[in-house]
Structure 1
Amino acid sequence: MRAVCFVVFLVIPVLGQEAVSIRVDASQSIGSFKPIYTYFGYDEPNYTYTRNGTKLIGELAALSSTSVYIRTHFLLASGDGTPGLKWGSTNAYTEDAAGRPIYDWRILDHIFDTYLYAGAKPFVEIGFMPQALSSKPEPYRPTWIPGAANKDYSSGWSYPPRDYAKWEELVYRWVRHSIEKYGQRQVESWYWEVWNEPDISYWHGTSEEYDKLYDYTAAAVKRALSSAKIGGPAVTGPSSASAAAFLRQFLEHCDHGTNFASGGVGAPLDFVSYHAKGHPSVVEGHVRMGIAKQAEDADRGFQIVHSFAKFRDLPIVLSESDPEGCAACSARVYPPNAYRNGTLYPVYTAVMLKSIFELADREHINVAGMLTWAFEFEDQPYFDGFRTLATNGVDKPVLNLFRMLGLMRGDRLKTESDSRISMQTVLDEGVRGDPYVDALAVARDHEISVLGWNYHDDDLPGPSARVRVTVTGLPRNAKRVLLRQYRIDETHSNSWTVWKRMGSPEQPSPEQYAALEAAGDLQQLNSPQWIAVQDAELRLDLTFPRQSVSLLQLSW
Structure 2
Amino acid sequence: MNRIVVPAQAAGRLGDAWRHCVGTGRFNLALRQDYQESLALAQREIGFRYIRGHGLLSDDVGVFRPYDAAGHRGTRYAFTYVDQVVDAYLSLGVKPFLELGFMPEALASGTDTVFWWKGNITPPRDHSEWARLVRAVLRHLIDRYGLSEVRTWPVEVWNEPNLHVFWKDADQEAYFRLYEVTAKAVKEVDAELQVGGPVLSPGADDWWEPFAEFVTSRDVPVDFTSVHAYTSGPAEHVPFGVYQALRPPRNLLEQFARPKELLAGTPLADLPLHVSEFNTSYRPDNPIHDTAYNAAYLAPVLAEGGDVVDSFSYWTFSDVFEEVGIPTSFFHGGFGLLTHRQVRKPTYHLYAFMARMGQEILARGADHLVTRDDATGRVTVLAWQPVGGTDAPAEPDRHELSLSVPVPAAAGGRAFVVRYDVDTERGNAWHAWGEMGRPASPSSRQLDLLRDLAEPARTASSSPVTPAPDGAGTGRVDLDLVLGRHGVTLVEIDVVRDETPEWLDDSRVLGT
TM-score, normalization: structure 2?
A: 0.83
Aligned to 1:257: 217
* C-alpha displacement of 1:485: 1.4
Q: 1:281 to 1:162 in 2, by over 3 A?
A: closer
In the TM superposition, 1:491-506 aligns within 5 A as: 491-506=425-440
Deviations 1:185-222 (A, max 9, x none): 32222111111111112122632332222222222222
Partner of residue 220, structure 2: 267
Superposed, which structure 2 residues align to 1:334-373 within 5 Å?
A: 337-357=286-306, 360=308, 367-373=309-315
Q: Counterpart of 1:395 in 2: which secondary structure?
A: coil
Corresponding position of 2:142: 179
The aligned counterpart of 2:503 is none
- The 8 Å contact of residues 279 and 294 in structure 1, kept in 2 or not, is answered as no
For the pair 1:232 / 2:163, whether they are aligned, the reply is no
Counterpart in 2 of 1:263?
Answer: none
Q: How far does residue 319 in structure 1 lie from its aligned partner after superposition?
A: 0.6
Would you say 1:316 and 2:273 are equivalent positions?
yes
For residues 248 and 531 of structure 1, the distance between their equivalents in structure 2, rounded to whole angstroms, comes to 58
Aligned residue number for residue 543 of structure 1: 482
**CA spacing shift, 1:515–1:173, aligned 2, 3 Å:** same
Q: Which amino acid aligns with 2:133?
A: L
For 2:246, the equivalent position in structure 1 comes to: 289
1:217 corresponds to 2:182: yes
Give structure 1 stretches of 5+ with no counterpart: 1-18, 79-88, 146-152, 259-265, 331-336, 361-366, 421-437
Report 1:29-428 matches (<5 A).
Answer: 29-64=11-46, 67-78=48-59, 89-97=60-68, 100-136=74-110, 139=111, 142=114, 144=116, 157-201=120-164, 202-204=166-168, 206-237=171-202, 240=203, 243-254=204-215, 256-258=216-218, 266-279=219-232, 288-291=245-248, 292-308=250-266, 310-327=267-284, 330=285, 337-357=286-306, 360=308, 367-374=309-316, 375-377=318-320, 380=327, 381-393=329-341, 394-416=343-365, 420=366
Task: Find the aligned partners of 2:263 and 2:361 in 1 and give their Cα distance.
Answer: 24
2:370 is aligned to 441
Partner in structure 2 of residue 150 of structure 1? none
For these two proteins, the number of residue pairs brought into alignment is: 465
**Structural RMSD (CA):** 2.8
Distance 1:554 1:311 in 2: 43
Report what 1:83 is aligned to.
Answer: none
| Cα distance change of structure 1 residues 76 and 121 upon mapping to structure 2, 3 Å threshold | same
Change (3 A) 1:200 1:281: closer
**Structure 1 20/178 Cα, relative in aligned 2: closer, same or farther at 3 Å?**
farther
Aligned residues of 1:465 and 1:543 also touching (Cα < 8 A): yes
Counterpart for residue 431 of structure 1: none
Tell me the percent identity.
Answer: 26
State the shift of 1:492 in Å: 2.8
How many angstroms apart in 2 are the aligned matches of 1:341 and 1:31? 30
The AA in structure 2 aligned to 1:488 is V
Q: Partner amino acid for 2:35?
A: G
Contact 1:52 1:376 in 2 (8 A): no
Post-superposition CA distance 1:112-160 (Å, at most 9, x none): 2221222211111011111122122xx3555649xxxxxxx7x7x2121
The structure with higher relative contact order (CA 8 Å, sep 6+) is 1
How many angstroms does 1:458 deviate by? 5.1
Q: Which protein has the larger Cα radius of gyration, Structure 1 or Structure 2?
A: 2
Distance 1:324 1:512 in 2: 28
* Conservation of the 8 A alpha-carbon contact between 1:24 and 1:415: no
Task: Give the drift of 1:21.
Answer: 4.0
CA distance in 2, matches of 1:518, 1:35: 30
Task: Give the CA deviation at 1:311.
Answer: 3.3
CA distance 1:389–1:251, shift in 2 (3 Å): same
Q: Which runs of 5+ in 2 are unaligned?
A: 237-242, 469-474, 496-512
Q: Equivalents in 2 of 1:198, 1:186: separation in Å?
A: 28
Amino acid at match of 2:388: D
Contact residue 354 and residue 440 of structure 1 kept, 8 A: yes
1:487 is displaced (CA, Å) by 1.5
> In structure 1, how many angstroms separate the alpha carbons of the residues matched to 2:353 and 2:51?
19
Displacement of 1:184 in angstroms is: 2.3
CA shift, 1:93, in A, is 0.5
- Alpha carbons of 1:302 and 1:442: their partners in 2 closer, same or farther (altered >3 Å)? farther
Instruction: Specify the code of the residue in structure 1 equivalent to 2:214.
Output: H
Asked if the contact 1:277–1:294 (Cα under 8 Å) also holds between the matched residues in 2, the reply is yes
TM-score computed with the length of structure 1 as normaliser: 0.77
Q: Tell me by how many angstroms 1:252 deviates.
A: 2.5
Q: CA deviation at 1:51?
A: 2.2
CA separation of 1:469 and 1:548: change in aligned 2, threshold 3 A: same
